[in-house]
């Protein structure tokens, strides 16, 4: 579900009727979207925006920068390489509208060019985590049915044989396909309703699903970014520490090209390299997952190691909630940097300093979006400050889950509203706050306890590095909150101290009843806690003996 929810933020002010609240609508600046019937690919739209946002010296401004090799690709070359690669794929291999391509690669300067080339041909991009197992890849290939694959030499062995083989991205052949102009590219007609990408859910609550996104979905998001684009006197320099196979990084790399920014990336992420890259390339904005922000705060030696980070303006964090305690610590460490939580398509400086000071909020709705908070039991829309499920609508909403009508119907109603599964509320200023996931709520004697609330409190304790809370079965209560805690090095804090710390701050039914100390909290690439793994550990651990 995170794949979609992050396409829909930031959020809005609302008008509420006397009887039933009306849906929330965006109040951000926006322009008319292209008519839905117009033939238009994402690539067409990206290049049309680039004409408006082109740097003053495009020949010398690097569009794509490899932080490891320091290779720079200027903007004219990005356009030329995209068209040349599209022509090569079309004429040499036969790729065209309706085909699907599987991409198994870490971030690189080639990936945005590859995506744009495939989009221009009407080919669906199916991007996967390069660390996926063969069984996971097999399921994703069954869903997307690709005719060709693109991989690096280190990941190609995990792929089965396909109709048009596997092309190695870090090979002379692929470089030649981007630079050797043997045939001219002729524009292919692409409908905005055509499937542009199949991205995969994390699978933390079951088998991963293929989320089907159209050209229109991405065009709407990019149009919203353009409408809210701030005035700058020099091009922004973005660093993406989020994988391009995840929707957060997927959209960001497209957006950077469309906005005429410089995009810095490298394959296998390392905090130290990121710090050096911010200094060397004068990065102004960084897109991170929550674990990276936590790692930055821990590695004080790197942060204070003589690197000049004064260019940094904004840190965008998406993929999973960022605890308030972490935001506060980060702002103390970097007082002049805005923290834009969950700002997927507009993670650069579209938030005002006042907005960025509202801790815990995901912001306001992007242009073209609408949303409502719905009572989980009755389905009635709720007013501000009332907790309920967030439903969202608008041109960002996915087409559905690939080959899974039942799962699609379970989260999308007949009017096109998407049930996010997130428990949220709006305040009177139209800011959205995510409380927790419906499926992750702990049911204690009929009361609902949000794990995230307890986790945020735990992470304010000076002796706690990280924490996660899960339900633990109990005969009398049904479920009780159990905490997994990572202590600070050399800390001697014990179970009773942690229980007392929480008990002083919450209602009795929210108290933590069990505690287990571990070395690290298991999380996926975007930073989402893998609660199923913790629940298994809780049930298998014989050393947990706390009583109710």
Q: DSSP for 78-104?
A: HHHHHHHHHHHIIIII---TT-EEEEE
pLDDT tens per residue across span 248-280 = 889 999 999 999 999 999 877 788 888 889 999
Helix axes 290-298, 271-280, angle to 10 degrees: 90
pLDDT tens per residue across span 493-514 = 999 999 999 999 988 889 999 9
Residue 227, classified by CB atoms within 10 Å of its CB into exposed (0-12), middle (13-18) or buried (19+), is: middle
The reply to whether omega before 518 is within 30° of 0 (cis) is: no
Confidence tier at 357 by pLDDT (50, 70, 90): low
Distance (Å, rounded) from C-alpha 81 to C-alpha 529?
39
- The pLDDT, as a whole number, for residue 47 is 96
Asked whether residue 480 carries a pLDDT value surpassing 80, the answer given is yes
Confidence tier at 300 by pLDDT (50, 70, 90): low
- The pLDDT, as a whole number, for residue 127 is 95
- The pLDDT, as a whole number, for residue 14 is 35
pLDDT tens per residue across span 139-154 = 899 999 999 999 999 9
Distance (Å, rounded) from C-alpha 205 to C-alpha 392?
21
What is the rounded end-to-end Cα distance, in angstroms, of the chain? 34
- The pLDDT, as a whole number, for residue 299 is 66
371 and 434 Cβ atoms separated by less than 8 Å? no
Confidence tier at 305 by pLDDT (50, 70, 90): low
Confidence tier at 458 by pLDDT (50, 70, 90): very high
pTM (two decimals) = 0.79
Asked whether residue 548 carries a pLDDT value surpassing 70, the answer given is no
Residues of the chain with CATH 3.40.50.980: 75-232
Distance (Å, rounded) from C-alpha 60 to C-alpha 74?
6
Long-range CB contact pairs, 157-160, < 8 A, 24+:
158/104, 158/132, 158/133, 158/134, 159/102, 159/104
Report the residue count for the chain: 548
- The pLDDT, as a whole number, for residue 531 is 85
Q: Quickly name the fold that domain 75-232 has.
A: Rossmann fold (3.40.50)
Cα-to-chain-centroid distance, residue 293 = 14
- The pLDDT, as a whole number, for residue 96 is 94
Distance (Å, rounded) from C-alpha 197 to C-alpha 117?
13
Asked whether residue 524 carries a pLDDT value surpassing 80, the answer given is no
Asked whether residue 353 carries a pLDDT value surpassing 50, the answer given is no
Q: Which residues are 363's β-sheet partners?
A: 432
Buried b (16+ CB within 10 A) or exposed e, 354-375: ebbeeebbbbbbbbbbbbbbbe
Confidence tier at 307 by pLDDT (50, 70, 90): confident
Buried b (16+ CB within 10 A) or exposed e, 435-459: bbbeebbbebeeebbbbbbbbbbbb
Distance (Å, rounded) from C-alpha 122 to C-alpha 365?
29
Q: Quickly name the fold that domain 445-540 has.
A: GMP Synthetase; Chain A, domain 3 (3.30.300)
288 and 241 Cβ atoms separated by less than 8 Å? yes
- The pLDDT, as a whole number, for residue 240 is 86
Confidence tier at 293 by pLDDT (50, 70, 90): confident
Which of the pair, 545 or 372, is modelled with greater confidence? 372
Residue carrying structure tokens 């906005």: 259
Give the DSSP H/E element, type plus range, for residue 140.
Answer: helix 134-144
Residues of the chain with CATH 3.30.300.30: 445-540
Asked whether residue 3 carries a pLDDT value surpassing 50, the answer given is no
Q: Of all residues in the chain, what percent are helix, strand and coil, respectively (each to 5)?
A: 30, 25, 45
Distance (Å, rounded) from C-alpha 256 to C-alpha 238?
7
Which of the pair, 296 or 310, is modelled with greater confidence? 310
**How, if at all, do strands 62-66 and 24-25 pair?**
unpaired
201-215, 259-273, 458-472 — which is least confidently predicted? 201-215
Distance (Å, rounded) from C-alpha 263 to C-alpha 235?
11
pLDDT tens per residue across span 8-54 = 443 333 333 334 577 888 777 778 899 999 999 999 999 999 998 88
Nearest Cα neighbor of 387 from 441, 344, 340, 338 is: 441
346 and 10 Cβ atoms separated by less than 8 Å? yes
Q: What is the mean pLDDT of residues 217-226?
A: 91
- The pLDDT, as a whole number, for residue 544 is 42
Q: Count the neighbouring beta carbons within 10 Å of the beta carbon of residue 135.
A: 8
Which of the pair, 301 or 157, is modelled with greater confidence? 157
Cα-to-chain-centroid distance, residue 144 = 21
Residue carrying structure tokens 């290779």: 71
Cα-to-chain-centroid distance, residue 335 = 25
Structure tokens at 294: 């936590």
DSSP 490: T
Confidence tier at 206 by pLDDT (50, 70, 90): low
Confidence tier at 545 by pLDDT (50, 70, 90): very low
- The pLDDT, as a whole number, for residue 467 is 92
Asked whether residue 232 carries a pLDDT value surpassing 50, the answer given is yes
Whether domain 2-26+364-395+420-437 has CATH 2.30.38.10: the reply is: yes
Distance (Å, rounded) from C-alpha 342 to C-alpha 432?
11
**Residue percentage of the chain with pLDDT more than 70:** 88
């Amino acid at each position: 579900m995170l794949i979609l929810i992050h396409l829909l933020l930031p959020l809005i002010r609302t008008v509420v009727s006397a009887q039933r609240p009306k849906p929330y609508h965006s109040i951000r600046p926006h322009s008319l979207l292209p008519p839905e019937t117009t033939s238009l690919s994402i690539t067409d739209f990206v290049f049309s925006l680039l004409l408006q946002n082109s740097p003053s010296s495009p020949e010398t401004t690097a569009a794509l920068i490899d932080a490891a090799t320091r290779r720079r690709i200027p903007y004219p070359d990005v356009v030329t390489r995209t068209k040349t690669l599209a022509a090569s794929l079309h004429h040499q291999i036969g790729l065209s509208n309706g085909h699907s391509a599987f991409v198994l690669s870490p971030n690189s300067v080639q990936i945005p060019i590859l995506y744009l080339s495939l989009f221009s041909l009407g080919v669906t991009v199916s991007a996967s985590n390069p660390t996926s197992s063969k069984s996971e890849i097999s399921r994703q290939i069954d869903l997307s049915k690709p005719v060709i694959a693109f991989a690096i030499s280190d990941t190609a062995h995990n792929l089965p044989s396909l109709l048009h083989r596997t092309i190695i991205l870090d090979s002379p052949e692929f470089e030649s396909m981007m630079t050797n102009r043997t045939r001219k590219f002729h524009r292919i007609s692409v409908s905005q309703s055509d499937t542009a990408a199949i991205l995969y859910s994390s699978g933390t609550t079951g088998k991963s699903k293929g989320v089907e996104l159209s050209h229109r979905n991405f065009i709407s998001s990019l149009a919203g970014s353009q409408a809210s684009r701030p005035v700058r006197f020099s091009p922004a320099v973005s660093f993406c520490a989020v994988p391009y196979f995840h929707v957060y990084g997927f959209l960001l790399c497209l957006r950077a090209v469309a906005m005429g920014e410089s995009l810095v990336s490298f394959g296998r992420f390392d905090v130290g390299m990121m710090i050096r890259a911010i200094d060397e390339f004068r990065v102004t904005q960084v897109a991170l997952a929550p674990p990276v922000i936590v790692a930055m705060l821990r590695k004080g030696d790197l942060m204070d190691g003589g690197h000049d980070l004064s260019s940094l303006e904004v840190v965008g964090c998406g993929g999973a909630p960022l605890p308030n305690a972490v935001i506060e610590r980060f702002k103390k460490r970097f007082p002049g940097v805005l923290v834009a939580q969950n700002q997927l398509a507009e993670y650069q400086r579209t938030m005002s300093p006042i907005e960025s000071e509202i801790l815990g909020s995901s912001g306001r709705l992007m242009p073209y979006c609408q949303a409502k908070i719905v009572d989980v039991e009755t389905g009635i829309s709720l007013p501000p400050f009332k907790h309920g499920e967030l439903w969202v609508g608008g041109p960002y909403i996915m087409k559905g889950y690939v080959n899974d009508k039942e799962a699609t119907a379970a989260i999308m109603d007949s009017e096109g509203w998407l049930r996010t599964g997130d428990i949220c509320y709006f305040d009177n200023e139209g800011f959205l706050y995510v409380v927790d996931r419906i499926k992750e709520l702990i049911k204690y004697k009929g009361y609902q306890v949000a794990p995230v609330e307890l986790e945020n409190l735990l992470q304010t304790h000076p002796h706690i590095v990280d924490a996660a809370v899960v339900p633990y079965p109990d005969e009398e209560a049904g479920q009780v909150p159990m905490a997994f805690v990572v202590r600070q090095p050399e800390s001697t804090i014990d179970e009773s101290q942690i229980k007392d710390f929480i008990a002083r701050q919450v209602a009795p039914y929210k108290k933590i009843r069990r505690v287990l100390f571990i070395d690290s909290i298991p999380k996926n690439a975007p930073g989402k806690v893998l609660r199923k793994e913790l629940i298994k550990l809780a049930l298998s651990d014989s050393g947990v003996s706390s009583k109710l």
